[in-house]
Amino acid sequence: MASTPAGTATASPFPTLILLREQDILANLRKAFAERYLPEQLFYWLPSSVQAWVDLCQSKEYKNASRALEVLNLAAPEIAQRSSDFGTLCGIGCGEGGKDRILLEAFSRRGHRLNFVAADFSQALLELAIDQARDSIVSATGVKLDVFSDSHLEQTSRLAHTNSPVLFTVLGNTLGAFDPQLFPARLRRVCDEQDRFLFDGEIFNETTLGGYDNPTNRRFAWGPLNGVGITEYDGRLEFSTEPIGNGLFAVTKHFLPTLPLQITVGSDQIEIPAGEKLRMSSSIKYRNDQTLLKMVEAGGFKVEGKWMSKDGNFVLGYARSS
């Protein structure tokens, strides 16, 4: 798919449930820079970040995305066959929608179109996700949410549930950003017994860092910094990896200013001294496939299916409520 500029209008409007207001996101951005930590969701809000994310998902350098698409293309026909009684696909953290689109097209090819509930932090990404899916679905609804809010997750689930089971998806190693040790239990609390959960994750190995410390991913990491006027002339981005326990590993990143900075966020001026580290959200990886599968089962699910990438470095799991 060709890169689509953020904000480009390509189709008719769709209903959107706004659980997270723009003024709240701006307040979170202001707080993040003041406290020197940029959480995951803020990398998908500013226009510079959205376009960088779309480009990253199409990059061959970004192995996370290419492996996720490989495994989904392998598994999608079987998933559509197993889930023939489902009425809705609910993509939580759907991003630009490329991964959910593969599944929705697999259902459509079987003559069974689904409703699509696209849930994400970013309005721009919701628009892209639904534009991609329109030809394969019955209807689409966007949910702009804070995925770390239990109330927002519950309201999203209520919207997705009609009279048929729901296939919930968290794809592209996104579960690692939501906290794989806590999110499955949070999702299970808003699932019905007939629902299913499709999730995936990247297996940590010696090549993992190279999949992130490359020019395309660096441009994505620069997105929120560029959005407030920070450039490569003001400091440097540094990436590293570290074990964090329970079979989990983190790809960490931070920005280190080499000169004093003053940035404007909304109406506030924030000063960042030279040498004071600005930490950014980590990307979580797994020691092996069983590490991820067991965390999902500990949250109240029973894994019914598993698919691996050809290189063995990415796993896709399909689970039911237990």
**Comparing 134 with 64, which gets the higher pLDDT?**
134
* pLDDT of 3 higher than 50: no
Domains in the chain (CATH in brackets) are 16-20+60-204+287-321 (3.40.50.150)
Q: Return left, alpha or beta for 6; rule: phi > 0 is left, psi -120 to 50 is alpha, else beta.
A: beta
pLDDT band at residue 83 using 50, 70 and 90 as cut-offs: confident
End-to-end alpha carbon distance in the chain: 38
CB atoms within 10 A of CB 24: 11
| Helices then strands, each counted (H, E), the chain | 10, 14
* Burial call 175-214: b when 16+ CB within 10 Å, e when fewer: bbbbebeebbebbbebbeeebbbbbbbbbbeeebeebbbb
How much of the chain exceeds pLDDT 90, in percent? Answer: 78
pLDDT band at residue 12 using 50, 70 and 90 as cut-offs: low
**Comparing 276 with 83, which gets the higher pLDDT?**
276
pLDDT band at residue 11 using 50, 70 and 90 as cut-offs: low
DSSP H/E element including 65: helix 63-82
Q: How much is the pLDDT for 107?
A: 97
Phi, psi (deg, nearest 5) at residue 47: -55, -40
Length of the chain: 322
Q: How much is the pLDDT for 210?
A: 82
Q: How much is the pLDDT for 298?
A: 98
* pLDDT of 4 higher than 90: no
Q: How much is the pLDDT for 61?
A: 67
Mean pLDDT confidence for 28-43: 93
DSSP H/E element including 116: strand 114-120
* pLDDT of 160 higher than 70: yes
Question: Pairing relation of β-strands 196-202 and 268-272?
Answer: unpaired
Helix residue ranges, H only, 123-204 = 123-133, 150-160, 175-178, 183-188
**Comparing 58 with 293, which gets the higher pLDDT?**
293
pLDDT tens profile 119-131: 999 999 999 999 9
Q: How much is the pLDDT for 211?
A: 77
pLDDT tens profile 231-273: 999 999 999 999 999 999 999 999 999 999 999 998 899 999 9
